């Protein structure tokens, strides 16, 4: 997969997993190398996609599988 390809993020799952691990948005964002505001937008659905590379870094920052923060039922719009 191209690391610049956009993948659909499940913002609700992202927030639940982060909270279960008792991590602050600022901590996850810093570990993933992104702005806290961008992570917040992903969690709240104001942004629904992230690059594959960013999604991987977010998952790694929370020590969860990438698949756990990706929306399963999505349709690519051409």
Closest by Cα among 43, 54, 46 to 11: 43
Look up the CATH architecture of domain 6-69.
Orthogonal Bundle (1.10)
Which of the four pLDDT bands, split at 50, 70 and 90, describes residue 4? confident
Taking 90 as the threshold, does the pLDDT of residue 2 lie above it? no
Taking 80 as the threshold, does the pLDDT of residue 78 lie above it? no
* Integer angstrom CA distances of residue 59 from 23, 25, 40, 41, 75: 12, 13, 15, 16, 22
Reading the block at residue 22, the tokens are 């008792």
List, for residues 14-58, the tens digit of each pLDDT value: 999 999 999 999 999 999 999 999 999 999 999 999 999 999 999
Please state, in angstroms and rounded to a whole number, the distance separating the CA atoms of residues 76 and 78: 6
Show me where the domains of the chain are located.
6-69
Per-residue model confidence (pLDDT) at position 3: 60
């Amino acid at each position: 997969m191209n690391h610049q390809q956009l993948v659909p993020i499940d913002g609700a799952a992202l927030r639940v997993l982060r909270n279960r691990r008792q991590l602050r948005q600022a901590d996850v964002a810093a570990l993933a190398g992104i702005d806290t505001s961008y992570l917040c937008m992903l969690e709240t659905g104001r942004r629904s996609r992230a690059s594959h590379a960013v999604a991987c870094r977010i998952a790694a920052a929370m020590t969860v599988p990438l698949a756990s923060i990706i929306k399963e039922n999505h349709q690519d719009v051409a």
